[in-house]
Amino acid sequence: MTSADETVDSALATLEERALTEPGLALERAAARREFFGGDAARNPGAERRFREWFLLERPTEKWQTPPVHALAHALVEEGLMENEVVAILANSFCGVFEVTSVVEGHGAWLRDLSSGGEHPLLDDVGALELTPRDVLIGRLYVFGATANRLSRSAALFRDEKLRVALERDLQAARARRRGVLRVSQRELEMMFWHETSPIAEAGAVERARTWLVEAGLGDEQIEGVFAELASMPVDESRWTFGMQDALAAVLERLAFETEVDLEAARRLLLAAWIELAGPTAVVVEPPAPESARDRDARAALEAFDRGRREGRDLERLFADLQRDLGIEEDEAVADDSAPDFPGVVGAVVEEFLWETEQEQGVEAARALAPIRKFADYGQGIGVFENLGLRDLMTFAAVWLPERGELADADAARATLAALRTFCAWAIERQGSEHLAAFGAKLDSLEQSLPRIVDANRFLAERRDGVGELFEVVELGTDAEVVLQNDRGVRARKALPAEVVARLVPGDRVRAVAERDGRFTALRCYPRESADVLKAK
């Protein structure tokens, strides 16, 4: 007999496999991962499962404007992939914060949904042995029938009376402000309970935060402004999540616009500093000196210019307005080498993409996708966005990035490809660039190969002038040797650094110089996908 958990697992796998056959859904799923995890990778199978449930059962897709489980319900049944009853189990599931009100030995428990106030029977004879009244369960509830429900395997158990009281109070207040049933989304629960917050006051937190901000490149005035803003608002100790619609959120938003700091690190450090500032021994932070009228006018002019550029307005007119607002004469502007460097056609579309992401998903989501600006740098010579094709995308990802040394490590490679995937999905949906869809399969392969190539290039002499001969890796030998083949089909066994050989696979390309004295120096490696655009010379 199939257990309830096995039924859910099998149904989710079937739904996911069917959904990913739809054009564009694989790209959209990659974008959704960034949205769900806030730029971080899934840290464990539980987090991965929660994302899977959210993407398939709750998140409206760009393709259908409804979750895959609803959009594909009829097709799943018609194609014989799933029974109506099983589709209903998935479609009727919902997330919540549940209090255990009673335990029925050998059968299960009764749960009270703190979001809606409803009571639900939990059928789980084994899991109920670990429960006691007043426990709090966080996660998705699958509805098997009027008297039979099952919690997701990725749900969490909290046994903390203060947390339970705070949750109940906050959710009751939220319910009172809203008509109908209050539902908490899977993504909201992820942010509240599984993302690191570390809201613990520590002595010296302000100074630690100050040191970090100095190292991050902020000036004294900016830093004092941050602390002044935090100190101006008390910490609500009854809150159970921080950095959302509070003083910390306002500070992080400003840092995202004005600096390049790591927002996740800033959030952890500034939360501890805020709590210390709010304590009885809080440090008195003087607010920064008032901004002069000239500085205020200049800042307003630059903000107006940036806003206009994000909105796609005429750049020449925007530049003229900026000159006027700053009081710069035309001749002076022409002579000024520091005039704004406009991004070109591809760059303009990239900036539009980041601006829309920021408006719809927030500044942190846009910041996570900032590596896509490398693609704007690559595309400066492309005059018409519609001319951008598969070859350009492959050249950028498989040749330009490793050749230029634009990526510091394997993680940077993964982040850049993830941003490129999300950008392509957006361009297909919002710009009608259907010709970019073919890049999806190539990206799947590059996500495996580019990180190891970037890692391999760290052990090679850095030389970006394109000199040397191009070879294909035909075979990996022993003792840090490889068999290479040039464009004439001539093969030779060559020694390369052991760290490089360990990261190569047959099909990869190597650019190298064979010296007259017999020395063979590898300069750059490229993933095997580069064969689509990189021809041996």
Highest mean pLDDT among 91-95, 164-168, 288-292, 320-324: 91-95
Q: CA nearest 427: which of 416, 415, 436? A: 436
- 159 with 216, same domain: the answer is no
**Domain assignment present for 487:** yes
**Domain assignment present for 15:** yes
Return d(Cα 351, Cα 310) in angstroms, integer.
6
> 221 burial class (0-12, 13-18, 19+ CB within 10 angstroms)?
exposed
**Domain assignment present for 200:** no
| C-alpha distance from residue 172 to each of 100, 102, 143, 452 (Å) | 17, 21, 24, 50
Question: What average pLDDT does the chain have?
Answer: 76
* For residue 57, pLDDT beyond 90: yes
How confident is the model over 192-212, as a mean pLDDT? 64
Q: Which residues, 6 or more positions from 222, have their beta carbon under 8 angstroms from its beta carbon?
A: 213, 258, 259
Domain count across the chain? 4
Q: Which residues, 6 or more positions from 82, have their beta carbon under 8 angstroms from its beta carbon?
A: 11, 14, 15, 76
Residue 417: what pLDDT? 92
**Domain assignment present for 177:** yes
Residue ranges making up the domain that contains 66: 4-90
Residue 46: what pLDDT? 79
- 141 with 173, same domain: the answer is yes
- 98 with 81, same domain: the answer is no
**Domain assignment present for 251:** yes
From 28, 60, 90, give the residue that closes a domain. 90
- Name the DSSP class of 433: -
Residue 300: what pLDDT? 63
How confident is the model over 466-485, as a mean pLDDT? 82
* For residue 158, pLDDT beyond 60: yes
pLDDT digits (tens, 9 = 90+) for 392-422: 888 888 888 888 887 888 889 999 999 999 9
Q: 468 with 520: CB under 8 angstroms?
A: no
- 79 with 107, same domain: the answer is no
Predicted confidence band of residue 44 (pLDDT cuts 50, 70, 90): low
Choice between 532 and 494, residue whose per-residue pLDDT is larger: 494
How confident is the model over 171-195, as a mean pLDDT? 65
- 105 with 163, same domain: the answer is yes
From 223, 248, 278, give the residue that closes a domain. 278
**Domain assignment present for 499:** yes
- The dihedrals phi and psi of 108, each to the nearest 5 degrees, come to 170, -135
Highest mean pLDDT among 51-60, 370-379, 381-390: 51-60
Q: 277 with 283: CB under 8 angstroms?
A: yes
pLDDT digits (tens, 9 = 90+) for 316-357: 565 566 556 655 444 443 334 333 334 467 877 888 888 888
| C-alpha distance from residue 282 to each of 202, 275, 509 (Å) | 12, 9, 59
- The dihedrals phi and psi of 192, each to the nearest 5 degrees, come to -75, -40
Residue 132: what pLDDT? 84
**Domain assignment present for 43:** yes
> 334 burial class (0-12, 13-18, 19+ CB within 10 angstroms)?
exposed
* For residue 18, pLDDT beyond 90: yes
- 117 with 166, same domain: the answer is yes
How confident is the model over 491-511, as a mean pLDDT? 89
| Token couple for 366 | 């846009």
- 107 with 32, same domain: the answer is no
* For residue 246, pLDDT beyond 90: no
Choice between 317 and 36, residue whose per-residue pLDDT is larger: 36
What does pTM read for this prediction?
Answer: 0.40
From 166, 194, 222, give the residue that closes a domain. 194
Q: 12 with 48: CB under 8 angstroms?
A: no
- What's the per-residue H, E or C state across 10-50? HHHHHHHHHHCCCCCHHHHHHHHHHHHHCCCCCCCHHHHHH
How confident is the model over 145-163, as a mean pLDDT? 78
Choice between 310 and 114, residue whose per-residue pLDDT is larger: 114
- 72 with 97, same domain: the answer is no
Least confident among 157-166, 213-222, 459-468? 459-468
What CATH number does residue 480 fall under?
2.40.50.140
